[in-house]
Amino acid sequence: MKVKYKNLILMLFLCNCSVAEDDIGPSLLSSDKDLSMYSESILIGAIDNVRKNKIDKALEKLNKLIKINPDFKAAQLIYADLMLSRSQKITDFGNIQNASFDHINSLLSEVKARWNFHKLTIEKDKIPSSLIKLANSQSHVIIVDASTSRLFLFENENGTPRMKADFYVTIGKNGTGKYTEGDQKTPIGVYFVTGFIPSEDLPDLYGDGAFPIDYPNDWDQRHGRTGYGIWLHGTPSTIYSRAPNDSNGCVIVSNNDLNTLSHFIDEGKTPVIITNSINWVTKQNWESRSTNYNLFVEKWRQDWESLDVNLYLRHYSKEYMGLGKDYSSWVEYKRRVIPMKKYIKVNLTNKSVFLYPDNPDLMVVTFLQDYASDTFRRKFIKRQYWKMEDDGKWRIIYEGAAS
């Protein structure tokens, strides 16, 4: 049986690429993660069989899938069209009667996104360049790659990020780069999970629950970005997954994937880094970069302890704003108080360092600061933003208490 596909969208992903005939048995689906892996594996296998003109094999795979996961609408679409092809010639996918173009196109875009990611080869030992250092308390970190509609979960393995899993993801209807409330864009930046809202406290739209993140963060607020309520959440109870660009700005995964991820998310600790595209580096490159970036922070700490005001202040940008002061008032304050100290001791622990997505000249540093002098002592979690300036020097452009 031959089926001709003239739809350009489909031709983009029905290309010369093979997929292993992995048929995960339904009896092995003992967890949410198993169902997610099974669903995508079978969909990809069916598409590959269509490309090879093995239509009956594709139908067999999809028939199993929609019985186990009937809410997987994208799989339902492909299955319905292949069934139709048995009685008449079809020229593209999306022959569902009474269905809108937007609905069909959203399902096709999901199939395309899943297939395109399948074609990618990501070496397991490579690390996203944004991950410079994970704090001891951060057991995992989440990175969302908008270009591939994928969420990556990394585990902190004795200080080294190791990829643990990846998940299909939905972002804003209008893409990324959130700036104003209601623009239906997903923010780009370094954020942290602030809590969890259970499903019983939410409309069905949000699925099995939601993890809010701290948008707008200090950097967003400094740049006048507005809006609120950016969450990592699930899907409505009758929908397995949504189109790649179908949220009002939130990051959405299937309920199965949300339940899997929930085991690795610590409220107030887990970073969520959202980027347009991940830059992957080798472990050797990562180790070198990690050492270099950590030196900037350590030198700042040492110069503070030295009681030399000029050495200390050289780490601050003239664009500095933080702790209720601009650069001029900060300089005046430090020139007045530091010479009055007999000693200063600064201990930094539980430090994390991330390069800002799509902005390699900006890094976010968070640590537990234990400050002690002969007249004062304070211990709190501090967050700094460091910027590489025109002279090639890294300087602090913001610092304050981490909320």
User: How far apart (Å, rounded) are the C-alpha atoms in residues 92 and 268?
Assistant: 47
Region at 273 (left for phi over 0; alpha for psi -120 to 50; beta for the rest): beta
What's the pLDDT at 53?
87
Catalogue all structural domains in the chain, each as residue range(s) with its CATH number: 8-119 (no CATH), 127-280 (2.40.440.10), 282-401 (3.10.450.50)
Q: What is the mean pLDDT of residues 93-100?
A: 56
Per DSSP, helices labelled H in 97-198 are: 101-119
Q: Which two tokens stand for residue 376?
A: 């004062």
Q: 310 φ, ψ to 5°?
A: -65, -40
- Indicate whether 369 pLDDT > 50: yes
How confident is the model over 11-54, as pLDDT tens digits?
334 444 444 444 444 444 556 668 899 999 999 999 999 889 89
What's the pLDDT at 33?
66
What's the pLDDT at 19?
41
What's the pLDDT at 89?
57
How buried is 197 (Cβ within 10 angstroms: 0-12 exposed, 13-18 middle, 19+ buried)? middle
- Indicate whether 151 pLDDT > 50: yes
What's the pLDDT at 51?
86
Please state, rounded to an integer, the average pLDDT across all residues of the chain. Answer: 89
Q: What is the mean pLDDT of residues 65-77?
A: 93
In the 8-state DSSP scheme, what is residue 207? T
Beta strands in 89-220 (DSSP E): 127-128, 131-133, 140-145, 150-157, 160-168, 171-172, 189-192, 197-198, 209-212
User: How far apart (Å, rounded) are the C-alpha atoms in residues 213 and 195?
Assistant: 8
User: How far apart (Å, rounded) are the C-alpha atoms in residues 345 and 343?
Assistant: 7
What is the band of 125 on the pLDDT scale with cuts at 50, 70, 90?
Answer: confident
What is the band of 98 on the pLDDT scale with cuts at 50, 70, 90?
Answer: low
DSSP conformation letters of 334-359: HHHHGGG-S-EEEEEEEEEEEEETTE
Nearest-CA neighbor of 81 among 170, 7, 26? 7
Which range (83-97, 173-187, 270-284, 346-360) has the least confidence? 83-97
- Indicate whether 204 pLDDT > 90: yes
How confident is the model over 285-341, as pLDDT tens digits?
999 999 999 999 999 999 999 999 999 999 999 999 999 999 999 999 999 999 999
Contacts of 128 (CB under 8 A, 6+ apart): 143, 152, 154, 161, 273, 275, 278, 279, 280, 281
What's the pLDDT at 80?
85
What is the band of 93 on the pLDDT scale with cuts at 50, 70, 90?
Answer: low
Per DSSP, helices labelled H in 212-361 are: 218-222, 255-261, 283-305, 309-313, 327-337
- Indicate whether 103 pLDDT > 50: yes
What is the band of 8 on the pLDDT scale with cuts at 50, 70, 90?
Answer: very low
Task: Give the rounded distance of the alpha carbon of 37 from its chain centre.
Answer: 19
Nearest-CA neighbor of 240 among 261, 256, 223? 256
Amino acid at 307: L
Region at 307 (left for phi over 0; alpha for psi -120 to 50; beta for the rest): left
Amino acid at 109: S
Beta bridge partners, 301, equal: none
User: How far apart (Å, rounded) are the C-alpha atoms in residues 117 and 41?
Assistant: 12
Q: What is the mean pLDDT of residues 379-386?
A: 97
Task: Give the rounded distance of the alpha carbon of 12 from its chain centre.
Answer: 25
Q: Would you state the torsion angle of the CA atoms of residues 313, 316, 321, 325, taken in this order, to the nearest 10 degrees?
A: 0
Task: Say what the pTM is.
Answer: 0.90
Amino acid at 219: W
- Indicate whether 121 pLDDT > 90: no
Q: Would you state the torsion angle of the CA atoms of residues 290, 273, 116, 167, taken in this order, to the nearest 10 degrees?
A: 110
How confident is the model over 210-264, as pLDDT tens digits?
999 999 999 999 999 999 999 999 999 999 999 999 999 999 999 999 999 999 9
How buried is 255 (Cβ within 10 angstroms: 0-12 exposed, 13-18 middle, 19+ buried)? buried
